[in-house]
Amino acid sequence: MKAVKVCENLVLQNRVGVFKHSNWIGKPFGSIIFSNKGGFVYLLALTPELWTLVLSHRTQIL
């Protein structure tokens, strides 16, 4: 999983293809968005549980 800030003119590239952010705008959460190579991603609503999964976990020594 990866947290992405959606802007109309940006593009997300990963191993399953290229995703235009303009295709994401206006879609409900839970939608499947397909790439140019046939891969897909799910649009998920940001919840506290998902946010803790996508953050980089760092330890702190006090």
How many angstroms separate the CA atoms of 26 and 52, rounded?
25
Whether the Cβ atoms of residue 25 and residue 6 lie closer than 8 Å to each other: yes
Name the strand (E) or helix (H) holding 42. Answer: strand 40-42
pTM for the model: 0.73
Residue 58, pLDDT score: 67
Report the candidate in 52, 5, 43, 46 with the shortest Cα–Cα distance to residue 24. Answer: 43
Question: Judging by DSSP bridges, how do beta strands 17-20 and 11-14 pair with one another?
Answer: antiparallel
The 10s digit of each residue's pLDDT in 20-49 is: 999 999 999 999 999 999 999 999 998 988
Residue 52, pLDDT score: 83
Per-residue pLDDT at 62 exceeds 80: no
- Tell me the pLDDT band of 7, cut-offs 50, 70 and 90: very high
Name the strand (E) or helix (H) holding 50. Answer: helix 48-54
